[in-house]
Structure 1
Amino acid sequence: MSHHFKETPENAITQSGIARVIPCKELDVGDPIKWMSLALRDAMRAPGLTLFYGVLFAVIPWFIMYLVEMTGWHLVILPAIVCFMLVGPFLAAGLYDISWEMEKGHKPTLRHSLRAMRRNAFNEWGFAILLMVMMIFWLRVASLIHALYPPYIENDLESLLPFLMLGTMVGAGFTLAMLFVTAFTQPILMERKVDLATAVLTSVNAVWLNKVPMLIWGAIIFSAVAIGFVTGFIGFIVLMPIIGYASWHAYIDAIETKRERKYE
């Protein structure tokens, strides 16, 4: 067995009592770049499917922004970004399936990838509800910050700065929590018949034990989302499928399996 493996006792969460934790492997700082290059290769091998999911990723936030324009409530933008990051894992399930199919030497199909979400349906729904609760909590916090904000000051940058800083700090903390919870939960649920608590705790444990590589990975995801927003969501068409494929390769690298994986 390679030096890459961590033994089970080093788990941050050992006997939690509510679920078992699948052991994780030790990641290298350069691994996120490797995942991105593998993802790029997957995208080249399935250009049509990649484009299909990419367009979906671009249309959803465009629709959110359209609603913002219609209602004129611009403070919805930051929560909308987080909401979009919550929707992401569901679309990503289809992308994981494409990478997984290619890893097995199969030709990926749209039908097969769309059915991927049903593979562990009960726990997938549980995950959706968990994300929804987190999203509602974030929206409540965002509206609470908004409520604390005095209505009578000018809408210039100087007067908005404390409010924006508070919102950004809360948002950053929330996004970090999301990284821990969502990093590996979805691919674990999709590939293995495990319960939601096992998947979430395994994800938290793997991120905690690989803080530096996972923070780099989180920064890559955040940058991709930021580029997508700056380019009016056009960037999402290319970037989001690549992030999806890379997440699958991250999962393969991070979570221990009974037999070694091979990249073709």
Structure 2
Amino acid sequence: MSHHFKETPHNAITDSGIARVIQCKELDVGDPIKWLSLGLRDLMRAPGITVFYGIFFALIPWFITYLVAMTGWHLVILPAIVVFMLIGPFLAAGLYDVSWEFEKGHKPSLRHSLRAIKRNAVNEWGFGIMLMVLMIFWLRVASIIHALYPSYMENTLESLLPFLVLGTLVGAVFTVIVFFLSAFTQPILMERKVDLGTAVLTSINAVWLNKVPMMIWGGIIFTTVLIGFLTGFVGFILLMPLIGYASWHAYIDTIETKVERKYE
């Protein structure tokens, strides 16, 4: 499927002067399905490495839930989520390396993928911290909404509804912001060794210019995470690596490269 490059238009993102913005291509609405199928192919070709990373993705949320159930101490959730946000991008980098190795015609190895994790470590830590700050802010806003709920009111759906709607809307806004910031940031940082500003602005610009395909992609990721939770995190063992591999193909398809990519 041939894509043509979108001339990066002048907008607030490209004219910000904070960092340069790498051009992106114009995507088709069917592209997210193609990324999934290519991701699935990578998963089938590297089952051992897939399960290795997948177990981490399943264990971390399981451990968070276990801690909360054991202690009844919901404050555990915050530091645990913080850890997950910091570790997640590094785990993803290992998965991207597998797809990248296949693209180059190499046989991926666990050792090589673990080494890839520290390719652009400073900016990846920066990215993790940025996500963490957003997450903490989101949780603060959620607790303020919770505090607004009068304790004397009955817990009926009618009385809870305005707070549920407000909480959902705030959550949706934060989710969209995180998606814009992080859709392509991680693979850009890993492959190009650019600074965090360039990676983040490139990601925002690419999502903005491809709103419909990226909304579909975001919906697929959300559904995948939902299935993972509904299966008691067991689904994450295969689903998170699948999304990781597919994200690499999304990056290849979307962000302009100096050399034509040959992976189809």
TM-score (norm 1): 0.91
1:41 to partner: Cα distance: 0.1
Whichever residue aligns with residue 95 of structure 2, its letter is: L
Find the counterpart in structure 1 of residue 256 from structure 2: 256
2:20 matches 1:58: no
Contact kept in structure 1, 2:86 and 2:129, CA below 8 Å: no
Structure-2 separation of matches of 1:156 and 1:52: 45
Write the mapping of 1:86-125 to structure 2, written as runs, cut at 5 A.
Answer: 88-125=88-125
Structure-2 separation of matches of 1:103 and 1:189: 18
Q: Runs of 5+ in structure 2 lacking a partner? A: none
Contact kept in structure 2, 1:79 and 1:138, CA below 8 Å: no
Contact kept in structure 1, 2:89 and 2:128, CA below 8 Å: no
1:120 to partner: Cα distance: 1.0
Structure-1 separation of matches of 2:257 and 2:185: 15
Contact kept in structure 2, 1:11 and 1:205, CA below 8 Å: no
Which moves more between the two structures, 115-124 or 153-162?
A: 153-162
Write the mapping of 1:34-73 to structure 2, written as runs, cut at 5 A.
Answer: 34-72=34-72
Find the counterpart in structure 1 of residue 176 from structure 2: 176
Structure-2 separation of matches of 1:176 and 1:149: 25
Contact kept in structure 2, 1:89 and 1:182, CA below 8 Å: no
Whichever residue aligns with residue 213 of structure 1, its letter is: P
1:176 to partner: Cα distance: 0.4
Describe the superposition over 1:202-254 as per-residue Cα deviations: whole angstroms up to 9, x where unpaired.
Answer: 00000000000000000000000111111111111111110000000000000
Contact kept in structure 1, 2:183 and 2:203, CA below 8 Å: yes
Contact kept in structure 2, 1:79 and 1:142, CA below 8 Å: no
Aligned partner of residue 170 in structure 1, secondary structure: helix
Contact kept in structure 2, 1:86 and 1:135, CA below 8 Å: no
2:149 matches 1:149: yes
Whichever residue aligns with residue 207 of structure 2, its letter is: V
Describe the superposition over 1:95-153 as per-residue Cα deviations: whole angstroms up to 9, x where unpaired.
Answer: 11111111111111112212222101221121121111111111111111121122233
Describe the superposition over 1:185-210 as per-residue Cα deviations: whole angstroms up to 9, x where unpaired.
Answer: 00000000211000000000000000
Structure-2 separation of matches of 1:154 and 1:195: 51
Whichever residue aligns with residue 239 of structure 2, its letter is: L
Contact kept in structure 2, 1:182 and 1:200, CA below 8 Å: yes
Write the mapping of 1:179-190 to structure 2, written as runs, cut at 5 A.
Answer: 179-190=179-190
Q: Runs of 5+ in structure 1 lacking a partner? A: none
Find the counterpart in structure 1 of residue 213 from structure 2: 213
Structure-1 separation of matches of 2:83 and 2:166: 19
Structure-1 separation of matches of 2:206 and 2:95: 21
Whichever residue aligns with residue 39 of structure 2, its letter is: A
Aligned length in residues: 263
Find the counterpart in structure 1 of residue 244 from structure 2: 244
Whichever residue aligns with residue 60 of structure 2, its letter is: I
TM-score (norm 2): 0.91
Structure-1 separation of matches of 2:174 and 2:86: 12
Structure-2 separation of matches of 1:73 and 1:169: 26
Aligned partner of residue 150 in structure 1, secondary structure: coil
Describe the superposition over 1:148-195 as per-residue Cα deviations: whole angstroms up to 9, x where unpaired.
Answer: 122233445444332222111111110000110000000000000211
CA RMSD, 1 decimal: 2.4
